[in-house]
Amino acid sequence: MVPVCAGSLGEAVHLSYDERIALIQFIRATLDEAGLTSTPIVAGVGGLSTRETIELSKAAAKAGADAGMVILPAYYAASLNTDSQQVVQYYIDICKESPIPLLLYNFPANAGGQDMPSAVISEIINKAPNLCGVKLTCGGSIAKLVRLTAEIEGNPKINEARAYPFLLLDGLIADLTPWMQCGGHGTVSGIPNFAPAASMRLWELLNIESLTAEEATECKRLQAILSNADVAAVPGGIRAMKYALNKLHGYGVAPRKPLLPLKKLEGEAFMDILREMIDLEAEYTQK
């Protein structure tokens, strides 16, 4: 399990430059104080321009980030969509200048509707050796995963050009089981913030080559409950997640404006949906 900071659920676009860097520094210091000096940090470093993203990646590296995650700039999405080579060149340029490896983050809902097809992602992978992986939070992600897995397995040069094997990450824990079965390497999800023990147990089971009947039943149960929570969290977005974090841990209910806190009735309805997951986490925390 690796901490990801200043991403979509970290309200990165509503943080100032200094706040994003301070957040990375704080997480690095906190991990080090806990003796987790080898635990890497992935930081969201996507900006609205190539220059800003490069500057953020350099500052994040100095602050203690080990890798960066980059979503497409959203403001000129319509113009970027007219020529995919602009997208390809964007990732080539930032990967060339970044002192840390970068993850390509395909999340159309937060990128002005821009959805990179697998052919474009493949081109970027082949032309940007400092790209260490992709995170796919998009429709048809399993199909893209299958195509990208075939591309990587059929082209040994992709991994030969990198210090570590190229990562194919899901953006939801809801479909982690089929994701792993189709060659994926894991997920970056908000749900482990609420259910770390249950999420880790699911991950452990999915990495066992041959499950016993009892383990297979446990795996299906974990996946079903975590999936239900994830599916509810997606439309609720940051507002719902902040409400739940405040309810469970007292972190503060208010997102950055212009987003407003959920009304109590809406928030409690969301908590009711999460109840099964909360009970599941309590069960695994006690084990």
**Residues near 2 by beta carbon (within 8 Å), at least 6 away in sequence:** 39, 40, 41, 42
Domain ranges of the chain: 1-189, 191-286
Phi, psi of 69 (to 5 degrees): -120, 130
Fold assignment, 1-189:
TIM Barrel (3.20.20)
For 264-275, the pLDDT digits (tens) are 999 999 999 999
pLDDT in tens, 236-256: 999 999 999 999 999 889 999
Q: What is the mean pLDDT of residues 114-138?
A: 97
Q: Is pLDDT at 61 greater than 90 in this prediction?
A: yes
Binding residues for pyruvate: 188
Instruction: For residues 136-157, give the mean pLDDT.
Output: 95
The answer to whether residue 76 is catalytic is no
Rounded to whole angstroms, the Cα distance separating 182 from 250 reads 38
- Catalytic one among 91, 105, 144, 243? 105
pTM reported for the whole predicted model: 0.94
Choosing from 17, 58, 62, 135, which is the catalytic residue? 135
Single-letter residue type at 55: E
- Identify whether 91 is a catalytic site residue: no
With beta carbons less than 8 A apart as the criterion, state whether 49 and 76 touch.
no
